[in-house]
């Protein structure tokens, strides 16, 4: 997955936006003002911070020790840093979607109802 593909995938979710609150080099992808992905898209190797359920975060780190680490500069219990080239693109897409879904699930009911997600 290329940086352009990652950006396009993140922006493909309903109401997703890209912002730069930490400077022009760090893309922050949000839904309803809440972050679901963070990446320096020009970094090599490409990595992205993604929200994750705590038990899944631990499992993913154990299964992919070279590709998934506790979230860099994030709450280590709820965020992972995923090295994109080290994983199949399908798994990266699944992890991004899971992150988006977790953030949407935490939104107030009225905000959730405005999105395609239950």
Give residue-wise pLDDT tens across range 19-74.
999 999 999 999 999 999 999 999 999 999 999 999 999 999 999 999 999 988 88
What is the distance between the alpha carbons of residues 91 and 73, in angstroms, rounded to a whole number?
23
User: Is the pLDDT assigned to residue 118 strictly greater than 60?
Assistant: no
Residue 111's pLDDT band (cuts 50, 70, 90)? confident
Whether this prediction's pTM lies above 0.75 is answered by: yes
Q: What is the mean pLDDT of the chain?
A: 94
Q: Look at residue 116 in the predicted model and tell me its pLDDT.
A: 65
Q: Look at residue 2 in the predicted model and tell me its pLDDT.
A: 95
3-state class of 112 per DSSP?
helix
Degrees to nearest 5, angle at CA 27 with 24 and 32: 125
28 Cβ contact partners less than 8 Å away, ≥ 6 residues apart: 18, 19, 20, 21, 22, 35, 37, 38
User: Is the pLDDT assigned to residue 117 strictly greater than 70?
Assistant: no
């Amino acid at each position: 997955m290329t940086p352009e593909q990652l950006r396009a995938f993140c922006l493909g979710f309903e109401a997703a936006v890209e912002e730069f609150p930490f400077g022009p080099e760090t893309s922050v992808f949000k839904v309803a003002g809440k972050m679901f992905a963070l990446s320096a898209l020009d970094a090599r190797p490409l990595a992205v911070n993604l929200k994750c359920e705590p038990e899944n975060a631990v499992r993913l780190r154990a299964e992919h020790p070279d590709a998934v680490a506790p979230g860099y500069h994030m709450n280590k219990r709820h965020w992972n840093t995923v090295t994109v080239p080290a994983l199949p693109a399908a798994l990266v897409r699944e992890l991004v979607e899971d992150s988006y879904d977790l953030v949407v699930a935490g939104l107030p009911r009225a905000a959730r109802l405005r999105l395609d997600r239950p």
